[in-house]
Amino acid sequence: MIKPLSLSSRTPFAKGGQRACYVDPADPLRTLKVLLPGHSPQEKREALSFPKNFRPLHYFDDNDEEYRNLRWIEQKWGHVPLIPRLYGKVETDLGTAISTELFRDENGQISKTLEYYLWKEKEPKRCQQALEVFAEEWLQYAIPTRSLMLYNLVVVQEGDALNIKLIDDFGLAEFIPFVKLSNRLRRAKVTRRVNTLFAKVDRLLACKDKLSADHQEYQNAIQKRVKMLEEMEKF
Ligand SMILES: Nc1ncnc2c1ncn2[C@@H]1O[C@H](COP(=O)(O)OP(=O)(O)OP(=O)(O)O)[C@@H](O)[C@H]1O
Ligand SMILES: [Mg+2]
């Protein structure tokens, strides 16, 4: 039996709500993502009551779901430069990891999120323009996603150019299979997702300079993620 790769001795470069992200020790341009403690399929299923807990275990595995979604996208659309390449699964001492492309800026640093730049930049116009380019291309593909989050888009800096990539949120939240929808309906859905994304940009920009009790929870969550990315520079 092949010994699982040791990740527990390493530090993740980032964590999301579900997963910890490590730089692949064998390749700095790949990330290995594992489920965080408390998010294993068993734990998620046990937290539910009947009839929801009757679904098969893989149904509760967010990592496996992303693997299946990225594979499905690749089969249907081929390589999409706006999302990470999928390299497969790797057994680690923290569970099964999915291996995907890690986006880095030209200077070698791991690319930071759109949320980070919108929050930190005094002049976020350039990011907004890059987002418009992303949106236009994304609409051409019309790939299904859940609601797009500003912390699930990263801004890759290459020379003077900023290129936005989507690193999470693939797949379907709805029950009706997206693929069965007509092209027109699919595009309409993707357009709605993109419009909501622009609304999220506006919301962030509107409240970033005025800390207020009304938005405190939202602002604290952003600040926590921004701080994590500031510490990411050593990777
Ligand atoms: N391929 C990548 N390239 C660059 N940075 C990445 C990549 N994948 C993840 N990250 C960073 O790691 C963070 C967490 O990753 P990810 O979104 O995959 O975790 P998650 O737990 O699934 O997130 P969520 O909270 O959205 O469920 C991202 O917000 C981003 O900063
Ligand atoms: Mg995420």
pLDDT in tens, the chain (235 residues): 789 999 999 999 999 999 999 999 999 999 999 999 988 888 888 888 888 888 888 888 889 999 999 999 999 899 999 999 999 999 999 999 999 999 999 999 999 999 999 999 988 999 999 999 999 999 999 998 999 999 999 999 999 999 999 999 997 655 556 666 778 888 898 999 999 999 999 999 999 888 778 889 999 999 999 999 999 988 8
**Which token pair is 223?**
């600040």
Question: How many Å lie between the centroid of ligand 2 and the Cα of residue 167?
Answer: 7
Residue range 14-101, CATH number: 3.30.200
115 lines ligand 1 (CB under 6 A): no
The finding on whether 103 has its CB within 6 A of some atom of ligand 1 is: yes
Of all protein residues, the one whose alpha carbon is nearest to atom 20 of ligand 1 is 16
Taking the C-alpha atoms of residue 179 and residue 185, their distance in angstroms, rounded to an integer, is 10
155 CB near ligand 1 (under 6 Å): no
Closest residue to atom 2 of ligand 1, CA basis: 102
The residues, ordered by sequence, that sit 6+ positions from 146 with a Cβ below 8 Å of its Cβ are: 169, 170, 171, 172, 173
113 Cβ closer than 6 Å to some ligand 1 atom: yes
DSSP designation for 172: -
Tell me the C-alpha to C-alpha distance, in Å, between residue 152 and each of 8, 58, 119, 135, 197: 24, 23, 14, 14, 11
H or E element at residue 27:
strand 27-35
